[in-house]
Amino acid sequence: MTAWNDFVKKIYHEGHKANPNYQFKQALKDASKRKSEMGSSSGHSGKKMSRKSCMKSCKKSCAKRMRGGMNSVSKVTVGGKRTKRRRTHKKH
């Protein structure tokens, strides 16, 4: 589970103790309002980073992602012509 999921689950249990009709969707809204209490466990803390700075901060995971998966270079046929897709960095 991610830190966000754990945090929302904690909020839900707190709300459900006080009110048996408390719903998970309300816990999501409340957790969003209280996200400053959660703290930042990820290195990025929600900021958009340039590709270069991101690659510096998380070399291993980003480098692995760049080598394979959805971000890998692939050949695509468009209108009868073979073109090459550019490799893009996945924002996280």
At 17-68, the pLDDT tens digits run: 999 999 999 999 999 999 888 865 444 455 666 777 766 777 666 556 666 6
Ramachandran angles phi, psi of 85, nearest 5°: -75, 145
Q: How far apart are the first and last CA of the chain?
A: 17
Answer whether residue 11 is part of any domain: yes
SS3 39: coil
DSSP state, 77?
E
To the question of pTM greater than 0.85 for the whole model, the response is no
Q: Which amino acid is at 36?
A: S
Q: Which two tokens stand for residue 23?
A: 């719903």
pLDDT computed for residue 41 by the predictor: 47
Within-domain flag for 46 = no
Domain that holds residue 10: 3-38
Residue 34 lies in a domain: yes
